[in-house]
């Protein structure tokens, strides 16, 4: 029992296997594909015309996310300083 | 007397007795205070009470109506959860400060006039700073001082606005003020500081992460939501707020992505959530105000939950820097689970609280056809998923295993997180009771096919973007670093300007003093030469020469007199 606990505590968890992480990610891709196709199956109640484009929310979310991450990386180049930046020069 | 007792006073006065109690009695007493206040609030019928005559003004210290009731309710709930989360803390100062601070926020919420509002407004600042100072580090002390200066400054601006407003209108009633003229602008700015408007925001990200483990949870609930309440009361439908709100939702995202301190990430995230509420106030329709109030209600719970989970990690591991965390789900599985509930709530997944409140605001913005603002809010929703939905739980509890092993959070923390998580899910699954207490009648169904599918598309495609970017190594790594924000202006630029001006002023001052010194010396030597022991004016003169000089003087006088008389 004790040995088993040690094993699970030190890397024997389900998520520790890269294969299982891959499975999760592929499941996410599959759900996304289904959600995209789901747009063809119902009538959207939209406020704006562009909302009716197929998968609008999907690709808008994807593009926003990529934009946020990439521009934040650029932003980091501008604003990054050492952790003790404000502590120095006292 | 007791029938119309101000519920806020139960916390403020009750807090003063906390130092007298110890152990279990103290715990039970502190838990009972917010519950007693809550019962008193629910028992009070809507109306105005507690009138005080001060000079020619009548104060209305207690007003219960649709708007103040909901904020009062959630403030008491937050106070209760905050007490529960902090029960293990021995430090009496923190308990008293937290209860007085919560009471002050409630007092301001129930204020029917601007003077009462001002008094409690300042009390929130003065009481809450102790939750930062209680960390008892040099860093926290300095941060607390900056926080106090800005918060009290907000109060001073508010007071100036109130005086002008009372002078112009003759009224101190706290109702719809509307943005026009100097008086209302000052009040607007005072509210804006506490609400962390863009460029006025940095006290939040500066101070909240420096407070104690339990202090940050309490801080996150009150100050900014009091400001949201005040804006909703005083400036509904002010179009400017729509654009301020949209800006607030968007810009903190970029800082949150690259921030290493997880409680600072949550502070940026808090700023972003306030943006949604402010935008709702800017729209000002019944649907929008309902959305803002509902979102504040849900937000207080899931934001507290997220701060609680990060606080538990800080408490157990001793650090909250993402670069040193990872794999903690193995040690703290319950905390990880509660954190994920908070993350899904703030990201507005269906069946979680954020979904049923944020959609009211987005719906209200769309209904008024503000398509630009609407797109910004949608963009920001994808951003929320990144910093609060994924980054917080993923880099703390999963990602690269830091090898750190620790105990699960203390029992009282787990209870506080568990209750809050339960509330987040309960509101998400069954929103009707919340909708029923909103200021206006709700004619809105959140769970429609369109809404559920579009929201899932937005969130899961964003999650897919994260999976791709992270697995390809494009996602910015968590590194120990500090990111400059607007506070650089007063923490560094201001300091530099002070140093420069000190040198300049000092130099000029020295030059002037040296010149004066030289002149003075010359004067003194001159005086010495003429009046000194050997000076010409110090000689003894014969009386005859004195008479001669008097005659000359009189002669000159005579000549001038005649010249003048002509």
Question: CB–CB of B465 and A69 under 8 A?
Answer: yes
The total of structural domains in chain B comes to 2
Pair (B280, B174) in one structural domain: no
- In this prediction the pTM is 0.89
Q: Chain A residues with CB inside 8 Å of B366's CB?
A: 47-48
Pair (B231, B243) in one structural domain: no
Query: Do the domain assignments include residue B566?
Result: no
Distance between B231 CA and the closest CA of chain A, angstroms:
27
pLDDT at B446: 94
pLDDT at B438: 97
Domain boundary (B174, B207, B235) is at: B235
Is residue A55 within 8 Å of residue B457, measured between CB atoms?
yes
Residue B322 Cα distances to B109, B155, B477, B562, angstroms: 36, 35, 10, 97
Pair (B62, B22) in one structural domain: yes
Pair (B468, B441) in one structural domain: yes
Whether residue B341 has pLDDT greater than 80: yes
Give the residue, B227 or A10, on which the prediction is more confident. Answer: B227
Query: Do the domain assignments include residue B544?
Result: no
pLDDT at B262: 96
Percent of chain B with pLDDT over 90: 84
Query: Do the domain assignments include residue B28?
Result: yes
Whose tokens are 């420069």? That residue is B500
A49 phi, psi to nearest 5 deg: -60, -40
- The token pair at B211 is 């407070």
Distance between A2 CA and the closest CA of chain B, angstroms:
16
Q: With bands split at pLDDT 50, 70 and 90, how would you rate the model's confidence at B531?
A: confident
Give the residue, B542 or B426, on which the prediction is more confident. Answer: B426
Spatial distance between the Cα atoms of B86 and B315, rounded to a whole number of angstroms: 11
Per-residue pLDDT reduced to its tens digit, B391-438: 999 999 999 889 899 999 999 999 999 999 999 999 999 999 999 999
Pair (B228, B314) in one structural domain: no
Sign of CA dihedral B190, B196, B197, B201: positive
Pair (B375, B422) in one structural domain: yes
Q: What ipTM is given for this predicted complex? A: 0.89
pLDDT at B2: 72
Pair (B225, B242) in one structural domain: no
Distance between A3 CA and the closest CA of chain B, angstroms:
16
Please state the rounded mean pLDDT for residues B476-495: 90
pLDDT at A7: 44
Mean predicted lDDT score pLDDT of chain B: 94
Pair (B192, B213) in one structural domain: yes
Spatial distance between the Cα atoms of B21 and B139, rounded to a whole number of angstroms: 31
Q: With bands split at pLDDT 50, 70 and 90, how would you rate the model's confidence at A4?
A: very low
Distance between B160 CA and the closest CA of chain A, angstroms:
33
Give the residue, B66 or A90, on which the prediction is more confident. Answer: B66
- The token pair at B378 is 């949608």
- Looking at chain B from residue 354 to 393, which residues have their Cβ under 8 Å from any Cβ of chain A? 363, 366-367, 369, 371, 374, 378-379, 381-383, 385-386
Tell me which residue in B385, B456, B491 faces A86 most closely, judged by beta carbons: B491
Give the residue, B229 or B539, on which the prediction is more confident. Answer: B229
- Sequence-distant (6+) residues with CB within 8 A of B526 are none
Chain B contact for A7 (CB, 8 A cutoff) = no
Spatial distance between the Cα atoms of B551 and B564, rounded to a whole number of angstroms: 20
Please state the rounded mean pLDDT for residues B162-172: 94
Query: Do the domain assignments include residue B78?
Result: yes
- The token pair at A54 is 């197929």
pLDDT at B185: 96
Give Cα B27 distance to the centre of its chain. Answer: 28
Q: With bands split at pLDDT 50, 70 and 90, how would you rate the model's confidence at B502?
A: confident
Range of the domain at B319: 236-502
- Which helix (H) or strand (E) covers residue B63, if one does? strand B57-64
Query: Do the domain assignments include residue B517?
Result: no
Nearest to B459 by CA among B388, B365, B397: B388
Q: With bands split at pLDDT 50, 70 and 90, how would you rate the model's confidence at B534?
A: confident
Pair (B137, B243) in one structural domain: no
Q: In chain A, what are the domain boundaries?
A: 2-79
Tally of CB atoms within 10 A around B491: 17
Please state the rounded mean pLDDT for residues B225-251: 97
Pair (B90, B172) in one structural domain: yes
Domain boundary (B207, B235, B263) is at: B235
Nearest CA in chain B to A38: B453
Q: Residue A80 in 3-state DSSP?
A: strand
Pair (B247, B203) in one structural domain: no
């Amino acid at each position: 029992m004790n040995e088993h606990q040690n094993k699970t505590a030190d890397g024997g968890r389900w998520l520790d296997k890269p294969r299982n992480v891959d499975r999760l990610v592929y499941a996410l891709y599959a759900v996304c594909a289904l959600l995209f196709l789901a747009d063809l199956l119902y009538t959207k109640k939209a406020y704006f015309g562009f909302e009716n484009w197929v998968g609008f929310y999907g690709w808008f979310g994807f593009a926003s996310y990529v934009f946020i991450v990439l521009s934040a990386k650029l932003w980091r180049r501008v604003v990054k300083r050492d952790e003790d930046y404000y502590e120095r020069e006292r | 007397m007791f029938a119309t007792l101000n519920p806020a006073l139960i916390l403020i006065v009750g807090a003063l007795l906390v130092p007298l109690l110890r152990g279990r009695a103290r715990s039970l007493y502190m838990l009972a205070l917010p519950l007693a206040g809550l019962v008193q609030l629910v028992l009070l019928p809507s109306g105005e009470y507690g009138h005080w005559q001060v000079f020619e003004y009548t104060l209305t210290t207690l007003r219960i109506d649709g708007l103040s009731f909901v904020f009062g309710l959630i403030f008491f709930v937050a106070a209760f959860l905050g007490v529960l989360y902090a029960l293990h803390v021995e430090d009496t100062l923190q308990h008293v400060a937290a209860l007085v601070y919560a009471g002050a926020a409630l007092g301001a919420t129930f204020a029917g006039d601007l003077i009462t509002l001002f008094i409690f407004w300042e009390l929130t600042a003065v009481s809450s700073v102790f939750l930062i100072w209680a960390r008892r580090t040099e860093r926290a002390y300095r941060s607390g001082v900056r926080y106090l200066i800005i918060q009290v400054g907000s109060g001073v601006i508010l007071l100036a606005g109130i005086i002008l407003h009372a002078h112009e209108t003759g009224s101190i009633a706290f109702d719809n003020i509307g943005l026009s003229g100097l008086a209302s602008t000052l009040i607007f700015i005072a509210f804006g500081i506490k609400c962390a408007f863009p460029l006025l925001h940095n006290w939040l990200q500066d101070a909240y992460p420096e407070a104690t483990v339990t202090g940050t949870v309490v801080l996150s609930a009150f100050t900014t939501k009091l400001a949201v309440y005040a804006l909703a009361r005083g400036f509904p439908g002010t179009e400017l707020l729509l654009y301020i709100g949209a800006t607030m939702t968007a810009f903190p995202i970029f800082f949150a992505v690259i921030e290493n301190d997880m409680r600072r990430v949550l502070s940026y995230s808090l700023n972003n959530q306030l943006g949604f509420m402010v935008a709702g106030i800017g729209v000002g329709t019944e649907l929008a105000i309902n959305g803002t109030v509902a979102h504040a209600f849900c937000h207080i719970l899931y934001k507290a939950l997220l701060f609680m989970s990060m606080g538990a990690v800080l408490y157990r591991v001793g650090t909250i820097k993402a670069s040193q965390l990872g794999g903690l789900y193995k040690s703290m599985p319950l905390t990880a689970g509660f954190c994920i509930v908070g993350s899904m709530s703030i990201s507005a997944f269906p069946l979680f609280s954020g979904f049923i409140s944020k959609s009211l605001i987005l719906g209200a913005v769309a209904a008024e056809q503000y398509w630009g603002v609407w797109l910004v809010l949608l963009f920001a929703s994808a951003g929320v998923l990144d910093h609060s939905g994924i980054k917080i739980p993923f880099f703390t509890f999963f990602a690269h295993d830091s090898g750190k092993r620790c105990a699960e959070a203390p029992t009282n923390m787990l209870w506080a997180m568990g209750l809050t998580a339960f509330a987040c899910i309960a509101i998400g699954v069954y929103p009707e009771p919340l909708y029923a207490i909103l200021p206006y009648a709700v004619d809105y169904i959140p769970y429609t096919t369109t809404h559920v599918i579009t929201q899932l598309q937005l969130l899961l495609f964003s999650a897919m973007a994260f999976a791709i970017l992270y697995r390809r190594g494009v996602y910015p790594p968590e590194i120990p670093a500090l990111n400059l924000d607007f506070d650089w202006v007063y923490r560094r630029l201001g300091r530099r300007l002070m140093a420069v001006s000190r040198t300049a002023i000092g130099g000029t001052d020295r030059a002037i003093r040296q010149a004066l010194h030289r002149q003075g010396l010359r004067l003194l030597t001159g005086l010495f030469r003429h009046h000194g022991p050997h000076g010409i004016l110090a000689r003894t003169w014969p009386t005859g020469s004195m008479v001669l000089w008097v005659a000359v003087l009189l002669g000159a006088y005579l000549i001038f007199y005649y010249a003048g008389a002509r």
